[in-house]
Structure 1
Amino acid sequence: MLKGSCLCGNIQFETSAKPNGISMCHCGQCRKQSGGIWSSAYVPERDLTITGDVSWYAASPTAKRGFCAFCGSFLFWKAHDEDTISFSLGAIDGPTGLKLEKHIFVADKGDYYDITDGLPQSAQ
C-alpha cells in the first residue's frame, strides 16, 4: 500500500495497485508548477482513493492537474481520455519501493541541469 498527502494534510491518497510509468517529467508545465522536475507514477483511476478537497486546473485541452488549494502541493495529473491517474512520488509518505524507469519531455528540460543517470529519455 502506498499512501501520500499534500504538505498540509488536507488531501490524502492511497493505492494498493502496482504503479506504472515511474518517470520524471521535464516539461515546462511540470517545471513551472512543481518548481523543478516532477516525479510520478500512474495507476488505474479506480484504484486510487483520494480524500480531501482537490482543486483541478485545466492545464491543456488534453489534461488537468490536481493540487491542494491550501498549501499548493501539486499531487495529480489526469488525461481527459484515459482511465489512469498520475500521482506525485514526492508526496508519498515513507519509502516507495519504486525505481525510476525513464525521463519524459526532455526536449523541454531546463538548461541548468544534465540528465546523467543512463535511463531512457523521451523527447516528448
Structure 2
Amino acid sequence: MSDSTITGACLCRATTFEITGDLSPGTLCHCGQCRRQTSHVYSSTHIPQASLRLTRDDRLAWYQASPMARRGFCSACGSVLFWDPFDEDRISVSLGALDAPHPGRVVKHIFTADTGGYYPIDDSLERADGD
C-alpha cells in the first residue's frame, strides 16, 4: 500500500489519526508489558514517525513503561494505540485501532519466551524469543 492514507481511532474516537504510506509487516508481541496492557498480545505495525498524523488527540495519554519507550492510550476509553521507542524515529501503531478494511498483516510473533502460558502459538508465522 503506497501513497494512500489509512485512518484509525480509539474506541470512543477521542483520539483519531492517519497513516500515510506503507505499513510494515505486523507483529504479535507476547512480552509481559504488552500482555498486561492489552490483556493478551499486542498486534502492531512499526512505521516512520513522519507517517503518523494525529487528527484528534483530546484524550491521548502517555505512560512511560520503561526507560526505552512510552505507550500511548486513550484516557477516556482505555484503547491501546501506540508504542513509542525513544531511540528511534519510528512508532508502533496498534493494528486493532486501524479502521477496517486495512492492508495490515501479521507475519511474526515476538517475545515468545514471555507468553502467558494459557494459549498455544500454533500457527506457521515466524517466531522470535526476543524482538
Instruction: Give the shorter-chain TM-score range.
Output: over 0.9
Give matches, 1:1-124, under 5 Å: 1-50=5-54, 51-53=56-58, 54-124=60-130
Q: Tell me the distance in 1 between the aligned counterparts of 2:32 and 2:124.
A: 22
Native 8 Å contact 2:25 2:105 kept in 1: no
Identity of aligned pairs, percent? 47
Report the aligned-residue RMSD. 1.0
Q: Tell me the distance in 2 between the aligned counterparts of 1:72 and 1:98.
A: 22
Following superposition, the deviation at residue 98 of structure 1 comes to 2.3
Following superposition, the deviation at residue 21 of structure 1 comes to 4.0
Query: Counting strand residues as a fraction of each chain, which structure ranks higher?
Result: 2
TM-score, length of structure 1 as denominator length:
0.96
Following superposition, the deviation at residue 99 of structure 1 comes to 1.9
Which structure 1 residue ranges, 4+ long, deviate > 2 Å from structure 2? none
Residues matched between the structures, number: 124
